[in-house]
Amino acid sequence: MKAKVKKIDERYVICLREDGIIIDILVDFLKEVKSGDILTIPDIRNDKKL
């Protein structure tokens, strides 16, 4: 799944996933990103029925 970096603050990178969900990723997990970059992230949607 792709996510576009919208904003970077002191601790978090705010991203918009391609399905419209906004997520935050700790800055510690990303080395060099800037606003507008496209990230590839694992598809971890909660679609599964138990």
pLDDT tens, the chain, 50 aa long: 899 999 999 899 999 999 999 999 998 888 788 899 999 988 776 666 55
Do 42 and 30 touch, CB atoms closer than 8 A? Answer: no
Domain that residue 11 falls in: 1-27
Confirm whether 34 is domain-assigned.
Answer: no
Confirm whether 47 is domain-assigned.
Answer: no
Q: What pTM did the predictor assign? A: 0.74
pLDDT at residue 49, rounded to an integer? 58
Confirm whether 13 is domain-assigned.
Answer: yes
Structural domains in the chain (count): 1
Confirm whether 4 is domain-assigned.
Answer: yes
Confirm whether 45 is domain-assigned.
Answer: no
Confirm whether 6 is domain-assigned.
Answer: yes
Confirm whether 12 is domain-assigned.
Answer: yes
pLDDT at residue 13, rounded to an integer? 93
Our CA angle for 16, 43, 8, nearest 5°, is 30
Angstrom distance (rounded) from CA 2 to CA 19: 9
